[in-house]
C-alpha cells in the first residue's frame, strides 16, 4: 500500500531526539509568523478561501492530537472534546466539522485558549517522544504532521496578507518582500531537446504521496524561460488591453475576468495614475522588476497567449528546473492535477490528504517567498482551482 510520504525510519535515540527538536522548531516557527498580529487580527475570514490565523494555530494542533497522540499515547485525553468539531478541516473519516465558511465566527475559544491548547499538545508530544523512541511508524506520521504544518505556515502568511490587505489602513505586518529578478542571470529561453525524462520523487527523505510513482514521460522539443514574468511585463499586458481582448482568454477565464472589481492582479491598487501593491511591509509602489504575483490560472494563461507563448506543463517544468530561476512564486502550469502511475489512496482519514482533490484543479510548481524553510523541492506538486490567486502564484512562459 502506498503511504503518504517517503522517509527514512528512526533507528536510534539520536534520531528520535532530532525529531523532537524538529517538532519544536516547526511549531515555534508557526507562532513566530503571528508575532506581528494584534488580537483582532486572529479572527477575520473575509472570503471562504482564507482561514483565520487562530484557526490555523488550532487546526495544526488538532492534527497532532487526533492522528498522533490519540493513536500512540495510551493514556492521552483530548484537551477539549469540542475542538474536534471546530478544527477538523476536511477529513470525513475523522467526524463532523464546522463549515469552512463559518471559521470566522469562532470568537470563542479565545486566542489565548488556542495558545494554551498548543502548549498542552506540545507537552504531550514531547512525552510521546520519550516513551516511544525508535518507533519508525511514529516518525513517519510525525514527519507528515510537520510537513502539514509547514503547508499551513504558507497558508497562514498568505491568509494574513489577504486579511490585512483588505483593511483600508493597509497595515504593516512584516518586512518580507519579493526580490527583484536576478540581474546576474540574464533572461533567456532554455532549449530542451526531445526525449524521455524521469518525473517524480526518487529519494529517501520526505515527500507527499502525489510526488511518488517516478515514471518516464516523452517530451517534444520545447523552450522555457529561465525567469518568471515580472510585474512590469504584466503591466504591459494590462496597458495593451489584455483584460479587454477576448481572444487572449479561455471561455471560463473571460467570464472570470468580467467579474473582477479591478482588472489587475490581487493586491494591486491604482492611485493617481500610479500602481501600488500591498505587501506584508505595507502599501508600496509596484516593484516592476520583481515577479508578478497573485494571478489566477486564467490570468496566467491569458498573459501567455498575449505573449505568443504558453504555460509549461508540469513535466516540462520539472525536466528543466535545474536551469530555471525559481522559488519566489508558485508557477501555474498547463497540467491538470492528477495521479501519477501507480498512485493509490492510503487507508483511513489520512488517505484524504491528496488523492480526493485530483479533479478540476491545476498544478503549480516551484515554491514561494511564503514557503517555509526546507519545505521546497523540484518534485513538489501544489494545486488550486484556476480562479484562485490569494497565494503567491506567478507565470513562466514556454513555447514549442
Claim to verify: residue 86 and residue 152 sit in the same structural domain: yes
Domain count, the chain: 2
pTM more than 0.85: yes
Claim to verify: residue 241 and residue 385 sit in the same structural domain: yes
Claim to verify: residue 141 and residue 220 sit in the same structural domain: no
CATH number, domain containing residue 99: 1.20.120
Strand residues in 310-371 grouped as ranges (E): 310-311, 330-336, 362-366
Claim to verify: residue 157 and residue 202 sit in the same structural domain: no
DSSP state of 134: T
| Residue 142 lies in domain | 13-165
The answer to whether position 233 is within a domain reads yes
Claim to verify: residue 242 and residue 386 sit in the same structural domain: yes
Claim to verify: residue 198 and residue 346 sit in the same structural domain: yes
Strand residues in the chain grouped as ranges (E): 189-192, 195-199, 215-219, 222-225, 268-271, 274-279, 282-285, 310-311, 330-336, 362-366, 382-384, 393-394, 397-399
Per-residue pLDDT of the chain (400 residues; tens, 9 = 90+): 234 655 544 445 666 789 999 999 999 999 999 999 999 999 999 999 999 999 999 999 999 999 999 999 998 999 999 999 999 999 998 999 999 999 999 999 999 999 999 999 999 999 999 998 788 899 999 999 999 999 999 999 999 999 999 999 999 988 777 889 876 788 999 999 999 999 999 999 999 999 999 999 999 999 999 999 999 999 999 999 999 999 999 999 999 999 999 999 999 999 999 999 999 999 999 999 999 999 999 999 999 999 999 999 999 999 999 999 999 999 999 999 999 999 988 888 888 888 899 999 999 999 999 999 999 999 999 999 999 999 999 999 999 9
CATH number, domain containing residue 249: 3.90.1580.10
| pLDDT confidence of residue 25 | 98
How far apart, in whole angstroms, are the C-alpha atoms of residue 55 and residue 62? 10
Claim to verify: residue 143 and residue 198 sit in the same structural domain: no
Amino acid at each position: 500500500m502506498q503511504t503518504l510520504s517517503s522517509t527514512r525510519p528512526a533507528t536510534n535515540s539520536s534520531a528520535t531526539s532530532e525529531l523532537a527538536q524538529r517538532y519544536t522548531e516547526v511549531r515555534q516557527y508557526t507562532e513566530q509568523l503571528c508575532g506581528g498580529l494584534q488580537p483582532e487580527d486572529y479572527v477575520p475570514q473575509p472570503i471562504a478561501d482564507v482561514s483565520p490565523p487562530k484557526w490555523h494555530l488550532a487546526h495544526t494542533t488538532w492534527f497532532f492530537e487526533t492522528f498522533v497522540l490519540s493513536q500512540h499515547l495510551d493514556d492521552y485525553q483530548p484537551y477539549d472534546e469540542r475542538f474536534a468539531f471546530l478544527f477538523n478541516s476536511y477529513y470525513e473519516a475523522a467526524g463532523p466539522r464546522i463549515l469552512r465558511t463559518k471559521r470566522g465566527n469562532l470568537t470563542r475559544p479565545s486566542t489565548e485558549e488556542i495558545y494554551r491548547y498548543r502548549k498542552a499538545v506540545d507537552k504531550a508530544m514531547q512525552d510521546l517522544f520519550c516513551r516511544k523512541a525508535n518507533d519508525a511508524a511514529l516518525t513517519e506520521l510525525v514527519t507528515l504532521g510537520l510537513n502539514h504544518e509547514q503547508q499551513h505556515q504558507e497558508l497562514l502568511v498568505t491568509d494574513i496578507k489577504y486579511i490585512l490587505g483588505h483593511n483600508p489602513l493597509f497595515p504593516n505586518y512584516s518586512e518580507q518582500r519579493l526580490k527583484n529578478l536576478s540581474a546576474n542571470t540574464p533572461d533567456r529561453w532554455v532549449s530542451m531537446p526531445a526525449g524521455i525524462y524521469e518525473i517524480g520523487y526518487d529519494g529517501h527523505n520526505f515527500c507527499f504521496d502525489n510526488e511518488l510513482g517516478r515514471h518516464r514521460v516523452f517530451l517534444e522539443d520545447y523552450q522555457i524561460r529561465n525567469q518568471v514574468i515580472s510585474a512590469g511585463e504584466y503591466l504591459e499586458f494590462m496597458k495593451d488591453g489584455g483584460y479587454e481582448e477576448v481572444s487572449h482568454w479561455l471561455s471560463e477565464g473571460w467570464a472570470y475576468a468580467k467579474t473582477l472589481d479591478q482588472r489587475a492582479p490581487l493586491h494591486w491598487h491604482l492611485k493617481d495614475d500610479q500602481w501600488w501593491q500591498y505587501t506584508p511591509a505595507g502599501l508600496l509602489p509596484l516593484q516592476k522588476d520583481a515577479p508578478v504575483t497573485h494571478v489566477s490560472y486564467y490570468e496566467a494563461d491569458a498573459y501567455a497567449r498575449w505573449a505568443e507563448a504558453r504555460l509549461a506543463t508540469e513535466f516540462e517544468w520539472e525536466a528543466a528546473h535545474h536551469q530555471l530561476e525559481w522559488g519566489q512564486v508558485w508557477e501555474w502550469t498547463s497540467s491538470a492535477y492528477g495521479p501519477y502511475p501507480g498512485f493509490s489512496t492510503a487507508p483511513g482519514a489520512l488517505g484524504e490528504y491528496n488523492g480526493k482533490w485530483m479533479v478540476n484543479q491545476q498544478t503549480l510548481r516551484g515554491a514561494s517567498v511564503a514557503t517555509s524553510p526546507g519545505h521546497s523541492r523540484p518534485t513538489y506538486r501544489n494545486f488550486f482551482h484556476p480562479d484562485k490567486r490569494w497565494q503567491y502564484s506567478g507565470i513562466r512562459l514556454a513555447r514549442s
